[in-house]
Structure 1
Amino acid sequence: MGNQIDFSLRRQRGMSYWGWLLVTALLGFALTCVSKMAPAYMDERYVGEALKSLGDNPNLENMTSGQIKKELSRFFLINNVRGEPTQSVQVVRGVKSTVVSIKYELRQPLVHNVDVVMKFNKQLDTAKPELCCDPLVDLEQFRKRD
């Protein structure tokens, strides 16, 4: 009986050096990915909030494209959103509605020569503000108007 206990204790020594090294490397890679990509996703969340707050504005239909961009710019300034989202605002006016679109792509270097490409597309259609911020209209078919 004593021999069986001794045998089972030898088998339960825990993880080896290589096991711990693998766990540490995987954890380090995951933390690197999160630290590089999280700011882009935080900005994307603020872009959605900006469009929702713009959709709650009762005077949105009467605002010019410049006023809409200025309103979004204020929201972005307060929430520290910089770069590509602020430059990608597009306003397209239709007969029955106005579509405000923020579509952009970010390329973030991850490790050495490996990049992560993140694509974001948010839209606000004034005819359907409750469906903010999913893209409903393909704006590529329209001529870009500012």
Structure 2
Amino acid sequence: MRQKQSGITLVGFIVVLAVVGVFIYMGMKVIPMYSEYYSVKQSMEGLSKQAGVAQMDPSKVKDLFFRRLYINYSENVKPAHVKLVRKDSGYLMTVKYEVRRPLIANLDVVGRFEAEKELRRGAAD
């Protein structure tokens, strides 16, 4: 009696390897975008805990924010993407930006990110 063999063929293995490779390549493009977004959120959270931030001049607040981003190697957030609006006894900080990375040929991966944080007087004072 002959035993029936089971398993994956060489062609099937190459197809599976190609599909896995494409997903890994896409992950290499997307993961740094979300890592940077997490850094933006962390910087905003740290800024909201800084003493006296609600009384500071908006340009000083932005400067402190970008110093925190510089430590995290964020390169896609520019000063034009940061808005500070007076709200109650502090500020409402909004960071809205877009990241575009080339994927394959003329296809790009685009990430649009937006984060908001209230910088209030009572938070850290």
TM-score tier after normalising by the smaller chain length: 0.7 to 0.9
So what's the TM-score if we normalise by structure 1? 0.76
**Structure possessing the higher radius of gyration over alpha carbons:** 1
- Provide the rounded CA distance (Å) in 1 between the counterparts of 2:110 and 2:29: 11
Does the 8 Å contact 1:76/1:86 carry over to 2? no
Does residue 65 (structure 1) correspond to residue 66 (structure 2)? The answer is no
2:12 equivalent in structure 1? 19
Does residue 114 (structure 1) correspond to residue 107 (structure 2)? The answer is yes
2:78 equivalent in structure 1? 86
- Provide the rounded CA distance (Å) in 1 between the counterparts of 2:117 and 2:85: 10
Does the 8 Å contact 2:41/2:115 carry over to 1? yes
For 1:78, give the aligned amino acid.
I
So what's the TM-score if we normalise by structure 2? 0.87
Does the 8 Å contact 1:105/1:117 carry over to 2? yes
Q: How many residues align?
A: 121
TM superposition shift of 1:126? 2.8
1:141 equivalent in structure 2? none
Q: Looking at both structures, which has the greater relative contact order when contacts are Cα pairs under 8 Å and sequence separation is at least 6?
A: 2
From the two aligned structures, give the one with the greater strand fraction: 2
- Provide the rounded CA distance (Å) in 1 between the counterparts of 2:33 and 2:116: 17
Percent identity reads 24
1:10 equivalent in structure 2? 4
